[in-house]
């Protein structure tokens, strides 16, 4: 069984033919050019799909994209970096152009589906995926199915508030999970701490503006024994732990899979999170708790989009 997967980003349209058993068979990339407008972008997506659909027999298309997606997985609302896409029925647009069935899903939910079908999540009936990328996203898998809530928009895990006096992010209030663990915001949080220690190598390299500081620099410094970098990641990991406690107490799901660039910090983040969970999560919820990383890498979005098609059309 094969499906076409599309990963629609602000820079590139990535597409692939994916076999349910063996994974990616063929892949291609084309520039998004979102500034040309909604209809021309939909044409470009359709053209990209057709290059693959003409060569392979597939069951349909699954597409991951930014923004909130309707319960029927057909319409996206206000996706960032896509001008003019206030409310677009993408499934209908693709079917009208190609006659091929298409389902769409939020890119963080797609990451969870990728893990469920091809990655670390295959071993679990239910789990929560937390994506630590530019921002913080997430997806909830319950009984091997994506949990979407009553209107289709569940899983905005990065916008859960853990300290309403905390730093700002893209959320409408302060102190959300994203403010401590999103790539941009972690760097900002780190710069506040580093600026207080001008003798530290991190200040000497990135200060006083810290414009070029990235989470990967903190991880490298921690690996080299920089105690300030270790402390910054420890504080962020503790926030991750408190967020996980909220998710567990709310959903009674005890398996957590972490992905995204910030997750490369590994146990510098994960061990403080586990420590907070051990200390502060209600005892009955401790049984069966696991926190692991996802290693699908850059292929996760395409694999997850294919998983969406497999779930919808097989």
Window from 66-75, 166-175, 177-186, 207-216 with minimum mean pLDDT? 166-175
Give the pLDDT confidence score for residue 186 in this predicted structure. Answer: 87
Is 233 found in the same domain as 212?
yes
Is 13 found in the same domain as 107?
yes
Residue 128 clears pLDDT 90, i.e. is over it: yes
Is 27 found in the same domain as 134?
no
Q: For the beta carbon of residue 140, count every other beta carbon within 10 angstroms.
A: 21
Residue 48 within any structural domain of the chain: yes
Number of domains in the chain: 2
Residue 182 clears pLDDT 90, i.e. is over it: no
Give the pLDDT confidence score for residue 175 in this predicted structure. Answer: 86
Supply the range of the domain harboring residue 220.
123-295
Is 134 found in the same domain as 74?
no
Q: What CATH number is given to the structural domain containing 55?
A: 3.30.420.40
Percent of the chain having pLDDT more than 70? 100
Residue 171 clears pLDDT 80, i.e. is over it: no
Q: What is the mean predicted confidence (pLDDT) over 112-141?
A: 94
Is 131 found in the same domain as 17?
no
Give the pLDDT confidence score for residue 80 in this predicted structure. Answer: 84
Is 133 found in the same domain as 29?
no
Residue 169 clears pLDDT 80, i.e. is over it: no
Is 255 found in the same domain as 142?
yes
Is 265 found in the same domain as 180?
yes
Is 288 found in the same domain as 305?
no
Residue 207 within any structural domain of the chain: yes
Q: Which tens digits make up the pLDDT trace of 32-52?
A: 999 989 999 999 999 999 999
Give the pLDDT confidence score for residue 314 in this predicted structure. Answer: 87
Residue 157 clears pLDDT 80, i.e. is over it: yes
Give the pLDDT confidence score for residue 246 in this predicted structure. Answer: 96
Is residue 21 very low, low, confident or very high in pLDDT (cuts 50, 70, 90)?
very high
Q: What is the mean predicted confidence (pLDDT) over 85-114?
A: 96
Cis amide leading into 208 (omega within 30): yes
Residue 79 within any structural domain of the chain: yes
Residue 118 within any structural domain of the chain: no
Is 176 found in the same domain as 101?
no
Residue 185 clears pLDDT 90, i.e. is over it: no
Mean pLDDT of all residues belonging to the chain: 94
Residue 282 within any structural domain of the chain: yes
Residue 91 within any structural domain of the chain: yes
Is 307 found in the same domain as 215?
no
Is 154 found in the same domain as 92?
no
Window from 99-103, 112-116, 176-180, 257-261 with minimum mean pLDDT? 176-180
Residue 244 within any structural domain of the chain: yes
User: DSSP readout, the chain?
Assistant: -EEEEEEE-SSEEEEEEEETTTEEEEEEEEE--GGG-HHHHHHHHHHHHHHHHTTS--S-EEEEESSEE-TTS-EEES-TT-TT-SEEEHHHHHHHHHS--EEEEEHHHHHHHHHHHHSGGGG-SSEEEEEESSSEEEEEEETTEE--TTTS----GGG-BS-TTS---SSSSSSBHHHHHSHHHHHHHHHHHHTT-TTSHHHHHHTTT-TT--HHHHHHHHHTT-HHHHHHHHHHHHHHHHHHHHHHHHH---EEEEESGGGGGTHHHHHHHHHHHHHHS-HHHHTT-EEEE---GGGHHHHHHHHHHHHHH-
Residue 221 clears pLDDT 90, i.e. is over it: yes
Residue 204 within any structural domain of the chain: yes
């Amino acid at each position: 069984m094969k499906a076409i997967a599309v990963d629609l980003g602000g820079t590139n349209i990535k597409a692939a033919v994916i076999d349910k058993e063996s994974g990616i068979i063929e892949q291609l990339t084309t520039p998004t050019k979102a500034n040309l407008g909604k209809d021309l972008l939909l044409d470009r997506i359709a053209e990209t799909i057709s290059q693959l659909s003409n060569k392979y027999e597939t069951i349909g298309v699954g597409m991951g994209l930014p923004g909130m997606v309707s319960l029927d997985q057909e319409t996206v609302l206000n996706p960032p970096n896509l001008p003019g896409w206030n409310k677009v029925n993408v499934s209908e647009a693709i079917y009208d152009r190609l006659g091929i069935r298409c389902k769409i899903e939020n890119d963080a939910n797609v990451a969870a589906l990728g893990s469920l079908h091809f990655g670390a999540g295959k071993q679990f009936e239910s789990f929560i995926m937390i994506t630590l990328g530019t921002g913080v996203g997430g997806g909830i898998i319950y009984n091997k199915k994506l949990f979407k809530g009553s209107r289709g928009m569940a899983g905005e895990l990065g916008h859960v508030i853990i300290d309403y006096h905390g730093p700002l992010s893209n959320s409408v209030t302060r102190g959300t999970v994203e403010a401590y663990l999103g790539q941009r915001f972690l760097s900002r949080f780190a710069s506040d701490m580093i600026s207080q220690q001008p003798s530290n190598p991190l200040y000497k390299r990135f200060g006083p503006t810290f414009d070029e500081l990235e989470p990967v620099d903190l991880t490298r410094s921690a690996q080299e024994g920089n105690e300030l970098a270790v402390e910054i990641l420890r504080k962020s990991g503790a926030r991750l732990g408190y967020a996980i406690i909220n998710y567990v107490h709310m959903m009674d799901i005890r398996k957590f899979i972490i992905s995204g660039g910030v997750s490369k910090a590994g146990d510098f983040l994960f061990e403080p999170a586990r420590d907070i969970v051990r200390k502060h999560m209600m005892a009955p919820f401790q049984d069966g708790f696991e926190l692991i990383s996802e290693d699908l890498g850059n292929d996760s979005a395409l694999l997850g989009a294919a998983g969406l098609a497999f779930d919808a059309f097989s």
